[in-house]
Amino acid sequence: IRNLLKDPSLFKEEAFINGVWVKSLSGKTFEVTNPANNDLIGNVSNLGPQEAELAIAAAEQAFQSWKNRTGKERANIMRKWFDLIIANTQDLATLMTLEQGKPLIESAGEVAYGASFIEWFAEEAKRVAGSIPTSTWSDKRLIVMKQPIGVCVAITPWNFPIAMITRKIAPAMAAGCTIVIKPAELTPLSALALAELAQRAGIPPGIINILTADAEQSIAIGKTLCASPVVRHLSFTGSTEVGRILMAQCAPTVKKLALELGGHAPFIVFEDADIDAAVTGAMASKYRNSGQTCVCANRFYVHKKVHDEFVEKFAKAIQVIKLGGGMEAGVTQGPLIELAALAKVERHVADALSKGATLVAGGKRSALGGTFYEPTILSNVTNDMLITYEETFGPVAPIMSFESDEEALRLANHSQFGLASYFYSRDIGRIWKAAEALEYGIVGVNSGIISNEAGPFGGVKQSGLGREGSAYGMDEYLELKYVCLGL
Ligand code: ADP
């Protein structure tokens, strides 16, 4: 791997605690492999609960001074980190593609997206402001101040190995908090490279700590982090199932929680939609990262008048998708992350076909072997099929037709999830009504891409709690304190 990097020292296999690169106390490591070819790419320190305690202690100590820095001081250091990330985009993208599988161009896009949160919250660090409500007592004054919540924990997934980390730690750091991060076991290398750049930027020891661990030790570390009374906030992105476990584990110490869990995004094409634009949006929303994002369109509802045209154009459009290893030039879709992911996609497609769905395109493993799966479109999908209510996390687009707006919106809202939703229409009244009616945290109107640092990202229902990014993202990491001042 080092040979593929301009700066080989960005390749780290040790964990990062209190500004020091550390092996696990047990001396054990776990393997990180390339999903495109199963090659071993790293042996990373496999930490456990004891090291988690050390990281919490380091973060607790660092908090005492970091919280007292001015917002401007924190902003300046974060800005240096942002600049270093941008300057090392190519190496970070290479590491990400090797461990995660997404095409290099998508990885570079994620580096920019991930870095944008550091830039954004560095700026926000200077603008935290309390308030002075008018007192109802003539002899007293009321003051509301905002203060950092304390030591925070971030547990992150493999689908966005950099952005899911920066989206959490940038607002935490900007607010004056310190953080312990447990990156996904499948993609720890990107996280460790970020830490190396943080150190070079002059971020003091203990502000950012990274605990690397395999799946089993991640569970043990999770218990320690959740049980700690020192940790005041836990931010998690991942499955709803694990989110529930962490929420329960945090109950005894009453931690503040930010949970960004599963989604099952509906994508509605109304009869007045610009069909070509809808196809472009559908491609971006469905097949990015091989369909492995929590905001990927999961169910397409297309008005019966434009159904056939949409399906035909969509099927033609996906022919340009080029499958392959993410490091190869021209590749636009990489492998799925692991065999279990492939098995789930196959199960969803088989279930749909057995219940009467029509295969429009794809529908099978790619000839490339491994975990490569062809971009797939199914039509004549019905609500009894697994794919319409379980998150697929793969490159499969199930299409249903509808006859009225009410029907489309009712079907779209029929989900335990409430993260992203999308629709295409040019009618202003319909747009307004649909945007209001969709029970989702995010609505993409005539747009298949919705994520950026300025918009609040997060879901309703069982998709989670809290919002990340935007002017609201910082509030997660700030507590309000009300001071009543007698004159
Ligand atoms: P995904 O479905 O995206 O793999 P998971 O929810 O399984 O998502 O994992 C997301 C993150 O949560 C990973 O960092 C993983 O190691 C961690 N994780 C999984 N199970 C637990 C658990 N019981 N306690 C703490 N962390 C966990």
At residue 216, the pLDDT reads: 98
Q: Which residues contact 181 (CB under 8 A, 6 or more apart)?
A: 153, 154, 155, 156, 165, 168, 169, 191, 208, 209, 210, 211
**Residues 195, 172 contacting (CB under 8 angstroms):** no
Query: Does the active-site annotation cover 260?
Result: yes
Ligand 1 site-directed mutation target among 217, 218, 241, 338, most atoms within 8 Å of CB:
218
Confidence class for position 322, pLDDT limits 50, 70, 90: very high
Q: Please indicate, yes or no, whether the overall pTM of this predicted structure exceeds 0.90.
A: yes
Q: Select which of 260, 374, 468, 476 is catalytic.
A: 260
d(CA 196, CA 108): 18
| Nearest C-alpha neighbor of 108 from the set 35, 60, 162 | 162
Q: 124-141 pLDDT, tens per residue? A: 999 999 999 999 999 999
- The closest-lying atom of ligand 1 relative to the alpha carbon of residue 155 is 14
Ligand 1 centre distance from Cα of residue 388 (Å): 24
Q: 201-241 pLDDT, tens per residue? A: 999 999 999 999 999 999 999 999 999 999 999 999 999 99
Q: Select which of 152, 226, 250, 294 is catalytic.
A: 294
Ligand 1 site-directed mutation target among 47, 155, 159, 417, most atoms within 8 Å of CB:
155
Confidence class for position 152, pLDDT limits 50, 70, 90: very high
358-361 β-sheet, strand order: 358-361, 376-379, 396-402, 297-303, 265-269, 420-424, 442-445
Instruction: Give CA 5 to chain center in angstroms.
Output: 25
Q: What is the H or E stretch that residue 56 is in?
A: helix 49-66
Percent of the chain with pLDDT strictly greater than 70: 100
| Residue 253 burial by Cβ neighbours in a 10 Å radius (0-12, 13-18, 19+) | middle
- The closest-lying atom of ligand 1 relative to the alpha carbon of residue 185 is 16
Query: Does the active-site annotation cover 296?
Result: no
d(CA 465, CA 472): 13
| Residue 433 burial by Cβ neighbours in a 10 Å radius (0-12, 13-18, 19+) | middle
ipTM above 0.95, yes or no: yes
Q: Which residues line ligand 1 (CB under 6 A)?
A: 155-157, 182, 184-185, 218-219, 222, 238-239, 242, 245-246
Task: For 262-289, give the secondary structure using H, E and C.
Answer: CCCEEEEECCCCCHHHHHHHHHHHHHHH
Q: 374-422 pLDDT, tens per residue? A: 999 999 999 999 999 999 999 999 999 999 999 999 999 999 999 999 9
At residue 326, the pLDDT reads: 98
Ligand 1 centre distance from Cα of residue 256 (Å): 19
d(CA 148, CA 174): 9
Confidence class for position 431, pLDDT limits 50, 70, 90: very high
Ligand 1 centre distance from Cα of residue 346 (Å): 22
At residue 283, the pLDDT reads: 98
